[in-house]
Amino acid sequence: MTVYNFSAGPGVMPQQVLDQIQAEMKSFNNSGMSILEISHRSQLYTEMEQIAEQNLRDLMHVSDDYAVLFLQGGGTLQFTNIALNLTDQFHHVAYMNSGHWAQKAMEAAQKIDGLKVDWIGDPKGGLPHIQALNSDHLDYLHVTTNNTIEGTTYHQIPETIQPLVADMSSNIMAEPYDVNQFDLIYAGAQKNIGPAGMAVVIVKKSRLASHPELSQIMDYWLEEQKHSALNTPPVFCIYASGLVFQWLKQFGGVEAIYQQNQEQANLLYDYIDNSKLFNNTIPAAERSLTNIVFGTGDQQLDQQFIATAADHGLISLAGHRLVGGMRASLYNAMPTAGVHALIEQLQQFELNHG
């Protein structure tokens, strides 16, 4: 049975990358050593890290004005690090309150002494509109581009609003954003990038300043000075993510995968919109391409569908425990065959239960 993994993260990896990892697991680059064994001070590592970084820069069109960091602590540690590293000027920040993870980011900032934290909107009222700020004196406005749990996305960010920080954990490289609009972009790796255990941080160098009062590992400036290897970096994550970047480049880059992501999401949304059993109530312009939430409105029926789908190799379709229902995460590595298989299963279930 072919298994399709719809998990929200860690999510599906490209088959080609898994094959490559398997083939070179015992001898990385013909070195006779596994990637799991090589020193992060070796040339083997340095070259691998530099290629991974360059490929990420190529994919997202990141200029030399930005540093690219591969850090530990996932997206969650960056919630705090951002608020500690980027607030020297005004000690005042604002957050688009667009969902669960946006709220978590905001709560982390609220814990910091002397930092004024405003928020805009209430996710229960839908995706809040990104609006001109009521204060010019903000260190940043924080936007979660894709709300993983709620299944909503800011597909476009107004060009006039700055300075911006974006959590792109669940749609980085799934659709194109202009990096130059942001002072900082961050993402936990385990959805569209690679294995869990790492966050990518893309930050305007002009926003970096030494923070000797912080623990060294939380100081972005220092991490940039040390090329993300202040301490032992997440070597395997960087390596596997680098392979994903290569795979995505071969695919045609973010622009090409964006086409595929739109096609896949349209297939599923079209089915749901025409279904008499399943539904999704998010306005079309705000719908996520990567996390598609839907349900029957009947918890028991939802559970039944999730179990039946799993029996047919369609795994991890349960919605987040906070919202229930179903969620199909269609990250970059999801083959279109997986979406067809899911739709067939939905049709069958609707025939039996509609």
What sign does the CA torsion over 246, 192, 228, 239 have? negative
- Identify residues 94-133 at the interface with ligand PMP (CB under 6 A): 101
Is 298 marked as a binding-site residue? no
Is 148 marked as a binding-site residue? yes
Span interacting with ligand PMP, options 13-21, 41-49, 71-79, 229-237, rule CB under 6 A: 71-79
∠ at Cα 304 (303, 309), nearest 5°?
A: 100
Residue 129 dihedral angles phi and psi, to the nearest 5°: -75, 130
Regarding 332 and contact with ligand PMP (CB under 6 A), the answer is: no
Is 119 marked as a binding-site residue? no
Regarding 177 and contact with ligand PMP (CB under 6 A), the answer is: no
Nearest CB to ligand PMP, comparing residues 10 and 313: 10
Is 145 marked as a binding-site residue? no
What does the alpha-carbon distance between residue 41 and residue 173 come to, in Å, rounded to a whole number?
29
What does the alpha-carbon distance between residue 175 and residue 168 come to, in Å, rounded to a whole number?
10
Span interacting with ligand PMP, options 70-78, 86-94, 114-122, 233-241, rule CB under 6 A: 70-78
**Least distance from C-beta 72 to ligand PMP, angstroms?**
10
- Identify residues 179-208 at the interface with ligand PMP (CB under 6 A): 188
Is 232 marked as a binding-site residue? yes
Measure the CA dihedral 250/254/256/258, to 10°.
140
What does the alpha-carbon distance between residue 249 and residue 165 come to, in Å, rounded to a whole number?
26
Q: H/E element holding 93? A: strand 92-96
Regarding 76 and contact with ligand PMP (CB under 6 A), the answer is: yes
Residue 199 dihedral angles phi and psi, to the nearest 5°: -125, 145
Active site residue 247: no
Is 101 marked as a binding-site residue? yes
Active site residue 167: yes
When binding is defined by CB under 6 A, the residue of 169, 192, 332, 345 that contacts ligand PMP is 169
Is 190 marked as a binding-site residue? yes
Please identify which of the residues 191, 219, 221, 247 carries the catalytic annotation: 191
Q: Are 96 and 120 in contact (CB under 8 A)?
A: yes
∠ at Cα 78 (327, 11), nearest 5°?
A: 30
When binding is defined by CB under 6 A, the residue of 11, 14, 75, 295 that contacts ligand PMP is 75
**CA end-to-end distance (rounded Å), the chain:** 27
**Least distance from C-beta 311 to ligand PMP, angstroms?**
26
When binding is defined by CB under 6 A, the residue of 74, 123, 128, 163 that contacts ligand PMP is 74
**Least distance from C-beta 167 to ligand PMP, angstroms?**
5
Q: Convert 158-190 to b/e letters by CB count within 10 Å (16 or more is b).
A: eeeeebbbbbbbbbbbbbebebebbbbbbbbbb
Regarding 148 and contact with ligand PMP (CB under 6 A), the answer is: yes
Regarding 325 and contact with ligand PMP (CB under 6 A), the answer is: no
Residue 295, classed as helix, strand or coil, is strand
Active site residue 139: no
Q: Which residues pair with 279 in a beta bridge?
A: 295
Regarding 280 and contact with ligand PMP (CB under 6 A), the answer is: no
Q: Are 121 and 97 in contact (CB under 8 A)?
A: yes
Span interacting with ligand PMP, options 31-39, 133-141, 167-175, 302-310, rule CB under 6 A: 167-175
Please identify which of the residues 139, 167, 219, 302 carries the catalytic annotation: 167
Q: Which residues bind ligand PMP (CB under 6 A)?
A: 9, 74-76, 101, 144, 148, 167, 169-170, 188
Query: Which residues carry a binding-site annotation?
Result: 41, 75-76, 101, 148, 167, 190, 231-232
Query: Which residues carry a binding-site annotation for L-glutamate?
Result: 41
Which residues are identified as catalytic?
101, 167, 191
